Chain A
Amino acid sequence: MANFLQLLVYGFQLGSIYALLAIGYSMVFGIIKMINMAHCDFLMMGCYIVYFLVTVVFGGAELIGPAVALLIILLGSSAIGMVGVGIERVAYRPLRKRPTIMCMISAIGVSIFTQNLFRALPFIGPTPRYFPVLIEDFTVNVGPVGISFTRIITIILAIIIMLILWYVIENTKIGMQMRAVSNDKDAASLMGVNINRVISATFFIGAFLAAVSGTFYATAYPVVQPTMAVALGNKAFIAAVVGGIGDIRGAVLGGFVIGITEILITSVWSAIAYGFCFLVLIIILLFKPEGLLGKPMTEKV
C-alpha cells in the first residue's frame, strides 16, 4: 500500500510536468489549429538555460539560495518564452493561410534544427549534463509513506502556476482575447483584436510553461541532453489530446491522468508503458474524439 502511495506521488509529479507541457500544446492548437511538434524542445531549452545560469554564471547552486534559484527559473523561462515568440514569427506565421499540416512540417524542421544546434554547439554539446540540485532535499513522512520534499514543492509550484494561468485566461483582457481568437479568428480580428499579438502571447505562455516544466523535470531526473524532451513531448501531447485539445482544463486533467497511468504501468511492466499510453490515446480518440473535456466539432452541409 505504501508503495502504491509512493507511486501515486511520483505519478502526480510527472503528471504536473505533463500538465504544464500539455497546456502549451493545447493553447497553440486552440489558437491556430496546429500541433506544434517542436514544443518539447522548449522544455529542453529551459533545462539548459537554467543549467547554464546556475552553474556557469552563478558558479553553482550552493552559492545561491532556493529563492534566487526560483528567480533564475522564472527569468530563464521568460527568455525561452521570447524564443517561442521568435520561432512563431519566423516559422509559423508565414504559413498561417496554408493547411495546418504545413505548419506541422515546419515544426518538424524547427525541431531538427534546435535539437541538432544544441548538439553541435561546442559549449553545450551532445554529452549529457547533470542538472544542479537547486534545493536541499529531505524526506517528508506522511503516514507510512516517505515523500521527497522537492517533489512536493514541484507539484505545489506547478499547481500555483496553473491557477495563475487560469486566472489570466478567465479574468484579464488578454485572456479574453485569446479565447476569442481560438473561437473564431476572423471574427475576433473584426472586433479589433490584434491577432498577431494574441498568437505571440500564446506562444510565449506555452514556451514559458514548457521551460518551467523542464526545470521541474530535471530536479527529479537530472540528466540533461538535447534529445531529452522528445518522449516527454509525445506523452504530454497524448495528455493534451486525451483531456480535450484546445481546452486548458483538459490539458491539466490529461496530464495527471497520463502521468499517473505511466508510473503505475511502468511499475508493472516497464517495456509497454510508452505503448500503453498511446493505446489509451487511441481508445479515447475512437470513442470520444474530442477528448474527455472537449466539445464535438460539426460541419455544415
Chain B
Amino acid sequence: MSLIKRNIEYPIFVLIFLVFTLLNRFGVLNDYVMQVVQLACIYIIMTESLNILNGMTGLSSLGQAGFMSVGAYVSAMITTTFINVNAMNPVMQVVMFIVVTLIGAIVACVVGVLIGMPAMRLRGDYLAIVTLGFCEVIRTIWRVVPARIAGAAFGLTGIPKLANFFWCYLFMLLAIYACRNFMDSSYGRACLAIRDNEIAADTMGINCFKHKTIAFATSAFIAGIAGSLYAHLLVYIHPDVFSYAKSSDFLVYLYAGGVGSISGAMLGALALTVLPEILRFLGNWRLVIYGMLLLIIILFRPTGMFGGREFAFLKLKTGGIKTFHFSTFTHWVKGLFRRKEKEAATAK
C-alpha cells in the first residue's frame, strides 16, 4: 500500500489522460480544445528543452525553434515526401511515427552539437545572438530547399496526422522525467555549477566543454521530438513558423514560469499557451492584454509564477530546495479558511 502511496503520481497521470480522452469522446471538450491541449504538451516539451540549456547550464539560447524545425522537417519529409505513410496499415503507421520522430530528434541533436560547439565559447549575450542567428539561418535553409522535397516558401502540406493526444501526453511525460533525471545527476549538477560560476567549476574538475556539449545535445534532441510531434499534429509546417519569434516565445514561457525549475517550465508553458485561448473573447485586443499580463508577471514576480519551486512528485534531490507538495497546497487552502474563522471569531 505504501508503495502505491509513494508513487501515487503514476496512476494520477493515467487518470488525467483518461479523463481528457473521455471528455473529448463524449463531446464535452471539443476537438479545438484538444488541439490546444496537445499544443500545450508540445510547448511544454520545448520549454523543458530550453530549461536544460538556459535554466540549468546558464546558456541563453534563442535557437530552440531552429532545433524544433529540424525535427519537424526531417520527420515530415520522410513521412510525406519520401515514403507514403498514409498508404500503410495503422500498426505500421505507429511504428513509422516513432521511427521518424527518433530520426528527427537525432538529426536535431547533431545540429545542436554542431551549433553549440562554436557558440559555447561566447559570453552570455553574444551566445544568445549567435543562436538567434543560427535559428534564422536554418529557417532560410528550409526556405531554399526545393519545394518538391520540403515545400520551401509554400510550406510542407499533407503531413500524415500521426500525432494524437496519447503521443503528445506520453512524450511530454517522458521529456519531463528525462529532464528530471538529467538534473538529479552529476551531469545536471555540473551544468548548475557551470551556470553559477564557470571558473570555479573548471578548477573543480568539471570538463565544461563536454558538459555544455551534452546540454546542447540533450536539449536539441528533446526539441527535435517536439518538432516531429508538431509537424504530425498540425499536418502543415512553414519555415516562418520557426523564426526567432517562436524561440523567444519559449524563453518567455520559461521565465514566466520560473527559470531553472522543471515544474516552472511546465507551468509557464501551460499557462501561457492556454491564456491566449481563454482571452479569445477579447477579439483584436486579445494579444494586447496578453502582452500586458506578461509584463505584469515579469515585473511583479520576476522569479516566475512558481518562484523556482519544484513539484514534490518529481522527487528531485538536486536543486529542488523549495518543493511544492500537494499537502502544501491543501495547507494553504485550509489556512485561508482558518483566517476567515479567526476574523469572524474576533469580530464577535
Establish whether A and B are touching in the complex (CB under 8 Å): yes
**B140 in complex: contacting residue of A100, A272, A297, CB < 8 Å:** A272
Q: Is B29 an interface residue (CB 8 A)?
A: no
For residue B137, which residues in chain A have a CB less than 8 angstroms away from its CB?
275, 278-279, 282
The answer on a CB contact under 8 Å between A275 and B291 is: no
Query: What's the minimum C-beta distance from B197 to chain A, rounded to whole angstroms?
Result: 11
The answer on a CB contact under 8 Å between A285 and B255 is: no
A253 to B244, CA, bound (A): 25
Interface size class of B (residues with CB under 8 A): 35 or more
CB-CB under 8 A for A102 and B123, given A91-B295, A112-B287, A271-B143: no
CB-CB under 8 A for A109 and B294, given A234-B244, A281-B133, A285-B126: yes
For residue A274, which residues in chain B have a CB less than 8 angstroms away from its CB?
136, 140
Q: Is A117 an interface residue (CB 8 A)?
A: yes
Query: What's the minimum C-beta distance from A124 to chain B, rounded to whole angstroms?
Result: 11
The answer on a CB contact under 8 Å between A289 and B126 is: yes
Q: Is B251 an interface residue (CB 8 A)?
A: yes
A105 to B254, CA, bound (A): 10
The answer on a CB contact under 8 Å between B299 and A289 is: no
**A/B pair count, beta carbons within 8 Å:** 128
- Contact pattern, A 227-250, Cβ under 8 Å of B = 1, otherwise 0: 000100010011001000000000
The answer on a CB contact under 8 Å between A241 and B302 is: no
Give the most central of B122, B153, B298: most A CB within 10 Å. B298
Smallest Cβ-Cβ distance to A113: which chain B residue = B291
Smallest Cβ-Cβ distance to A285: which chain B residue = B130
- Contact pattern, B 281-298, Cβ under 8 Å of A = 1, otherwise 0: 001111110111011001
The answer on a CB contact under 8 Å between B299 and A94 is: yes
The answer on a CB contact under 8 Å between B136 and A278 is: yes
Smallest Cβ-Cβ distance to A117: which chain B residue = B288
Query: What's the minimum C-beta distance from A119 to chain B, rounded to whole angstroms?
Result: 6
The answer on a CB contact under 8 Å between A271 and B140 is: yes
A246 to B248, CA, bound (A): 23
The answer on a CB contact under 8 Å between B123 and A278 is: no
Smallest Cβ-Cβ distance to B203: which chain A residue = A301
Interface size class of A (residues with CB under 8 A): 35 or more
Q: Is A183 an interface residue (CB 8 A)?
A: no
Q: Is A116 an interface residue (CB 8 A)?
A: yes
The answer on a CB contact under 8 Å between B60 and A101 is: yes
The answer on a CB contact under 8 Å between A116 and B299 is: no
CB-CB under 8 A for A100 and B287, given A109-B294, A275-B137: no
The answer on a CB contact under 8 Å between A109 and B302 is: no
A56 to B330, CA, bound (A): 59
Instruction: For chain A, residues 216 to 234, give those with C-beta under 8 angstroms from any C-beta of chain B.
Output: 230, 234
Q: Is B238 an interface residue (CB 8 A)?
A: no
The answer on a CB contact under 8 Å between B143 and A279 is: no
CB-CB under 8 A for A95 and B295, given A113-B288, A271-B143, A286-B118: no
Instruction: For chain B, residues 120 to 178, give those with C-beta under 8 angstroms from any C-beta of chain A.
Output: 121-126, 128-130, 132-134, 136-137, 139-141, 143-144, 153
Q: Is A9 an interface residue (CB 8 A)?
A: no
A119 to B286, CA, bound (A): 11
Would you mind naming 20 contact pairs between A and B with Cβ atoms under 8 Å apart? A35-B128, A91-B299, A95-B298, A101-B255, A105-B252, A105-B294, A109-B291, A113-B292, A113-B294, A116-B284, A116-B286, A117-B288, A117-B291, A119-B287, A126-B284, A237-B129, A238-B133, A271-B140, A279-B133, A285-B126
Given A116-B291, A119-B284, A289-B123, 17 additional A-B pairs, CB 8 A: A91-B299, A95-B298, A101-B255, A106-B299, A114-B291, A120-B287, A126-B284, A237-B129, A271-B143, A274-B136, A274-B140, A281-B133, A285-B122, A285-B129, A285-B133, A299-B199, A301-B199
Binding site for B on A (CB under 8 A): 29, 33, 35, 37, 91, 94-95, 98, 100-102, 104-106, 108-117, 119-120, 126, 230, 234, 237-238, 241, 271-272, 274-276, 278-279, 281-282, 285-286, 289, 297, 299, 301
Binding site for A on B (CB under 8 A): 60, 118, 121-126, 128-130, 132-134, 136-137, 139-141, 143-144, 153, 199, 244-245, 248, 251-252, 255-256, 283-288, 290-292, 294-295, 298-299, 302
